[in-house]
């Protein structure tokens, strides 16, 4: 019997799919721990494991061991939640409602980990493109004397919020007041600004005001921002707060000292990446490389290991890097 033309197409498609799956597993570190554990076994242990695996596989093929869902040993245990659902379900046709409930000794399902629980030294707890993020709100744009920041193109199909303003109103700072409570200590931003003195990039009700300043007396964070700042150029800016700050209390692009404080940021903010604790140098390099590549301002080279460090920290990189291990 000959093979149809469609059958020949399945072979290269299957090979490409398998290669993509292998690259994806390497990129995200899936099954790496299991592989290292198997390689560390001694020869005798490996032989015993192989024999047990073969024995269990052959035993599972016997018809008597098939899981038919009728109460065999392979039937899954019901969780506590499923027990509650089962008890509320209507009884069966023969009136035996007891068959719908799980055994009383069934164990409850383990509780899920918190969304922002750190799995390592430093994790990304917040990432936003303000021009498209539905969580972005103007701090006080509806009040007299304040306007809504404009959206300006940076790269094809990508906009940033601009605080330059072309009208009579001062663009309002943006915030994430309706966001779940997230604590950040390090922020990395893709931004551009002019050389206006005292321009406020981030403000937290007077506790974390970060502005470009040439004054002799300024905080360490202000001095760091001033040293990183290059007027008129897109760049990444790293902000390390002395103490953790609550995200809903941060104002981006201006100050909370309204309306007396009108020297807000004179430029754009494209993307914000926030960490719960200060990240190491490799993670910073990976995030900076991602921002530079996505927003097209170049610079900030990074190794595949540094990109992987940023991914492991929780960076959502989309299609910017593709599969980073292909570049090795």
**226-285 pLDDT, tens per residue?**
888 888 899 999 988 888 889 998 999 988 776 555 577 889 999 999 999 999 999 999
- On whether both 273 and 157 belong to a single domain, the answer is yes
Q: Per-residue pLDDT averaged across 182-194, rounded?
A: 92
- On whether both 20 and 132 belong to a single domain, the answer is no
pLDDT band at residue 144 under the 50/70/90 scheme: confident
pLDDT band at residue 286 under the 50/70/90 scheme: very high
How many structural domains are present in the chain? 2
Instruction: Say what the pLDDT of residue 61 is.
Output: 47
pLDDT in tens, 23-51: 666 665 566 555 555 556 667 777 777 77
Statement: residue 318 has pLDDT above 80: yes
Q: Is residue 106 part of a domain?
A: no
- On whether both 184 and 52 belong to a single domain, the answer is no
Range of the domain at 240: 124-278
- On whether both 238 and 135 belong to a single domain, the answer is yes
- On whether both 5 and 146 belong to a single domain, the answer is no
Q: From 235, 165, 256, select the one nearest 226 (Cα to Cα).
A: 235
Tell me how crowded residue 153 is: count the other CB atoms within 10 A of its CB.
10
Q: Is residue 192 part of a domain?
A: yes
- On whether both 183 and 48 belong to a single domain, the answer is no
Percent of the chain at pLDDT exceeding 70? 62
Domain boundary among 260, 278, 296: 278
The alpha-carbon radius of gyration of the chain (Å, integer) is 28
Minimum mean pLDDT range among 33-47, 92-106, 172-186, 311-325: 92-106
Q: Is residue 156 part of a domain?
A: yes
Statement: residue 84 has pLDDT above 80: no
Q: How far apart are CA 137 and CA 286, in angstroms?
A: 28
pLDDT band at residue 141 under the 50/70/90 scheme: confident
Q: Is residue 245 part of a domain?
A: yes
pLDDT band at residue 208 under the 50/70/90 scheme: low
- On whether both 45 and 133 belong to a single domain, the answer is no
Statement: residue 78 has pLDDT above 50: no
Q: How far apart are CA 193 and CA 201, in angstroms?
A: 9
- On whether both 42 and 128 belong to a single domain, the answer is no
Strands of 194-283 (E only): list them: 199-203, 210-212, 235-246, 251-252, 267-275
- On whether both 144 and 242 belong to a single domain, the answer is yes
Q: Is residue 185 part of a domain?
A: yes
Higher per-residue confidence, 190 vs 11: 190
Domain boundary among 37, 56, 75: 56
Q: Is residue 268 part of a domain?
A: yes
Output the pTM of the full model: 0.63
- On whether both 51 and 164 belong to a single domain, the answer is no
Report how far apart, in Å, the C-alpha atoms of 108 and of each of 73, 76, 87, 88, 323 are.
19, 13, 15, 17, 38
On average, the pLDDT of the chain sits at 73
Q: Is residue 94 part of a domain?
A: no
Statement: residue 199 has pLDDT above 60: yes
Instruction: Say what the pLDDT of residue 140 is.
Output: 84
Helix (H, G, I), strand (E, B) or coil at 87: helix
- On whether both 162 and 42 belong to a single domain, the answer is no
Statement: residue 214 has pLDDT above 70: no
Domain boundary among 12, 30, 56: 56
Statement: residue 153 has pLDDT above 60: yes
Q: Is residue 108 part of a domain?
A: no
- On whether both 7 and 141 belong to a single domain, the answer is no
């Amino acid at each position: 019997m000959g093979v149809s033309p469609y059958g020949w197409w399945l072979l290269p498609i299957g090979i490409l799919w398998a290669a993509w799956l292998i690259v994806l597993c390497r990129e995200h570190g899936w099954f790496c721990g299991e592989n290292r554990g198997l390689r560390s076994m001694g020869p005798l242990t490996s032989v015993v494991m192989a024999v047990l695996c073969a024995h269990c596989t052959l035993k599972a093929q016997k018809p008597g061991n098939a899981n038919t869902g009728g109460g065999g040993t392979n039937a899954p245990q019901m969780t506590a939640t499923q027990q509650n659902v089962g008890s509320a379900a209507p009884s069966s046709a023969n009136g035996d409602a007891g068959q719908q409930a799980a055994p009383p000794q069934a164990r409850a399902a383990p509780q899920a980990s918190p969304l922002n629980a750190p799995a390592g030294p430093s994790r990304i707890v917040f990432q936003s493109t303000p021009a498209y993020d539905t969580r972005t709100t103007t701090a006080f744009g509806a009040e007299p004397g304040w306007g809504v920041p404009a959206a300006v193109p940076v790269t094809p199909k990508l906009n940033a919020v601009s605080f330059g303003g072309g009208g009579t109103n001062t663009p309002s700072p943006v915030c994430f007041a309706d966001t779940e409570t997230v604590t950040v200590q390090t922020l990395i931003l893709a931004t551009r600004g002019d050389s206006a003195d005292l321009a406020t990039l981030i403000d937290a009700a007077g506790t974390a005001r970060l502005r470009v300043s040439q004054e002799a007396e300024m905080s360490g964070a202000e001095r760091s921002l001033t040293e990183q700042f290059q007027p008129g150029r897109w760049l990444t800016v790293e902000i390390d707060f002395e103490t953790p700050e609550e995200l809903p209390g941060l104002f981006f692009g201006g100050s909370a000292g309204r309306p007396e404080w009108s020297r807000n940021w004179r430029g754009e903010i494209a993307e914000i990446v926030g960490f719960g604790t200060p990240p190491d140098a490799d993670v910073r390099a990976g995030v900076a490389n991602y921002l530079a590549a996505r927003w097209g301002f170049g610079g900030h080279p990074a190794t595949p290991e540094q990109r992987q460090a940023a991914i492991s920290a929780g960076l959502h990189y989309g299609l910017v890097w593709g599969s980073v291990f292909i570049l090795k």
